[in-house]
Amino acid sequence: MMSEQKIKILPDFIANKIAAGEVIQRPESVVKELLENSIDAEATQIELIIRDAGKTLIQVVDDGVGMSEEDAVISFYRHATSKISSVEDLSAIKSYGFRGEALSSIAAVSLLEIKTKTKDEDVGTVIKIEDNSNIIKQKEAVVKGTTVTVKNLFFNIPARRKFLKSNNTELKHIIETFKRIAVSHSEISFKFYNDDELVYYFRKGKLEERLAAVFENDFFETLIPVQQLTEYMNVQGFIAHPKNTLKSKIGQYIYVNNRYVISKSINHAVYTAYENTIQKGDYPFYVLFLELDPTRFDINVHPSKLEIKFDDERNIYSFIHSIIKKSLASYDLVPKTSFNDESKLFFSNAPKTNLNDFGDRPFFNSNSEKRKPTVFSDEEIDLLFSSINKDIKLKTDVQNIEAPFHNQFKEVYHEREDGSEDNSDNSFIVSLQNKYILSQVKSGLMIIDQHAAHERILYEKALKSFEVNLPMSQQLLFPQKIVLDPADYDLIKEIESYLEKLGFEIKFLTKNAISIIGIPSDIKSGNEKEILLEILNEYRQNEQEKSLELRDNIAASYACKAAIKTGDRVTKHEMRLLVDQLFATSLPYVCPHGRPTVIKITIEEFDKRFGRI
């Protein structure tokens, strides 16, 4: 006796409803697909009309190329598309739609009507899909372009309609998608009607004009421009000033070849580039446009076409991270402080400054611009940074920066025969409690945390040492033996290659013992044991409290423990060198832990406190 057949092939009307669920998840999904179809149709004007948060009506009207009657009819069939014709086309997708699933999926879960006409036709075509899947065709006088009307979404799938959210929530999703698409196509005018009321009208224009229209004008004015054009990839857009962050991730827009995408890797690259200039729980706003060869990424990961995979994720990550850091470094992010009546400290935004513009940084000779620049001698640099490798170059343009004391140092700073220092001009640089460096700047007073500043310098120096692998080490006359606990012994073995690039020379002995043979030139001989152990403790603490990459963690731990300490006496000579090196880093405004290295108190604030204004 034969057993009853249990596996059956589903009829098309059921299979289509199941497939539609992957593409059409909510009203916003319909809006996205229809708007992208209009863009592919070369529209210059697009109108979106919504009623009842898209549950009752979604209508998209465009002035694109339109469709012939034959194309309009076949467009409802699954996998009917004009965008690709071969397997090879999937590896170089340039259009928004290409799967041929959108209209068939929408038709499977709604009442759908299309009105369309090409420029060469006298009359247009009207196609209606009834609830029994019957197709009705007729001719009608319509304008050039296409109008797609979607009514009663999910009327034939009560379970799906039941799980739609409130009108407010669904409308919010629609608006977000509408704005995402409008941002990337400033050459197209967009209108958005909600329940017969015109909510948004974005006129065609430049990208800056579109961003100012989509987002608040005041907010847009605080954005920092980003631009890097290379043969490998072009990146353009805007990022937020660290003081204008958001409490959620909704203000993060990534476009690859003008298509909005989701990329955790790029998000992380941008976030880490801010490198503790923002507080935990805050997120930077950014709009980034990436342009690269379509063969280098895959957008066909999911029917929604939001997820993306790059063929070289690591290089893309490094490229974005470097560009964001460079863009942030092009702005003066030094906080300006003021006090309200309750003497609470406030920070205000600083204006843009060029990388080599030190007009509002410590300055010691008003005539220095007219004089020939002088260069620090090796002995002077060795005074504080003796192991800086001449072959190490920053990835960004900061290696070409002329330091703020570059011209005036030798002319202003002198040592008298009795060993005392002579400041012959009216400016000054002094140490406060062997903790802070105070100096005059054009706008008032600059205050620098000497430990945090040195941390930033050593941190970036460590990262560059990892890249070039040219360690500079000073040999110990008498190697230092340390007996470690097994955990510390294993940790040193794990990170030995990085410690070696920093300048440590370590020999592993038996019974969890090591011998320190050489140390980085930044570390004073005599406390190498303590510093190495402190680096290990700091590394573990960072590992537990922060999600730092291994190399960043080691660099930050080393910088923290090798830097000048609070209470260490620093001469004026050393202070100037310290400030020059600080402002030659890629991000001189915060230490690796996120604390500010420098703040300014404006002359206006002094005037206010002394009753002058």
With H, G, I as helix, E, B as strand and everything else as coil, classify residue 280. Answer: coil
User: Residues 13, 16, 20, 22: what is their CA dihedral angle, to the nearest 10 degrees?
Assistant: 140
Tokens of 255: 């476009």
Starting from the edge strand earliest in sequence, which strands make up the sheet with 234-239, in order? 224-229, 234-239, 286-291, 252-256, 259-261
HSE, side-chain direction, 13 A CA sphere, residue 106: 29
Query: 130: pLDDT confidence band, cut at 50, 70 and 90?
Result: confident
The pLDDT of residue 29: 92
Q: Mean per-residue pLDDT for 181-191?
A: 96
Q: What is the spatial distance between Cα 17 and Cα 375, in angstroms, rounded to a whole number?
A: 74
The pLDDT of residue 612: 86
Cβ within 8 Å of residue 305, ≥6 positions away: 96, 99, 259, 299
Cβ–Cβ < 8 Å for 527, 480 = no
The pLDDT of residue 47: 98
Stretch among 49-58, 129-138, 319-328 having the lowest mean pLDDT? 129-138
pTM confidence score:
0.64
Cβ–Cβ < 8 Å for 578, 446 = no
The pLDDT of residue 183: 95
Q: What is the pLDDT of residues 20-62, one digit of tens each?
A: 444 688 999 999 999 999 999 999 999 999 999 999 999 999 9
Q: What is the pLDDT of residues 90-126, one digit of tens each?
A: 444 454 544 457 788 888 889 999 999 999 999 999 9
Pairing of strands 444-449, 436-441: antiparallel
Q: Which of 220, 307, 211, 226 is nearest to 259 (CA)?
A: 307
Return the bridge partners of 596, or none.
590
Q: What is the spatial distance between Cα 449 and Cα 186, in angstroms, rounded to a whole number?
A: 45
User: Which one of 333-337, 425-429, 607-611 scores highest in mean pLDDT?
Assistant: 607-611
Query: 592: pLDDT confidence band, cut at 50, 70 and 90?
Result: confident
Q: What is the pLDDT of residues 294-317, one digit of tens each?
A: 888 887 665 566 788 898 898 999
Q: What is the spatial distance between Cα 552 and Cα 583, in angstroms, rounded to a whole number?
A: 20
Cβ–Cβ < 8 Å for 204, 195 = no
Q: What is the spatial distance between Cα 149 and Cα 218, in angstroms, rounded to a whole number?
A: 37
Alpha helices (runs of H) in 313-449, residue ranges in sequence order? 313-329, 378-385, 409-412
Q: What is the spatial distance between Cα 186 and Cα 209, in angstroms, rounded to a whole number?
A: 8
Answer yes or no: is pLDDT of 535 > 50: yes
Q: What is the spatial distance between Cα 461 and Cα 464, in angstroms, rounded to a whole number?
A: 5
Terminal CA-to-CA distance of the chain, rounded, Å? 104
The pLDDT of residue 20: 44
Q: Which domains does the chain have, with CATH numbers?
A: 12-205 (3.30.565.10), 215-329 (3.30.230.10), 336-453+568-609 (3.30.1540.20), 471-562 (3.30.1370.100)
Q: What is the pLDDT of residues 276-290, one digit of tens each?
A: 677 777 888 999 999
Task: Report residue 100 CA to chain centroid gap.
Answer: 33
Query: 538: pLDDT confidence band, cut at 50, 70 and 90?
Result: confident
Tokens of 77: 């069939």
Q: What is the spatial distance between Cα 187 and Cα 210, in angstroms, rounded to a whole number?
A: 9
Report the chain's C-alpha Rg in angstroms: 32
Tokens of 341: 């009546």
Q: What is the spatial distance between Cα 410 and Cα 403, in angstroms, rounded to a whole number?
A: 13
The pLDDT of residue 584: 87
Q: What is the spatial distance between Cα 38 and Cα 61, in angstroms, rounded to a whole number?
A: 8
Q: What is the 3-state secondary structure (H, E, C) of 150-217?
A: EECCCCCCHHHHHCCCCHHHHHHHHHHHHHHHHHCCCCCEEEEEECCEEEEEECCCCHHHHHHHHCCH
Which residue matches tokens 């402080």?
337
The pLDDT of residue 424: 45
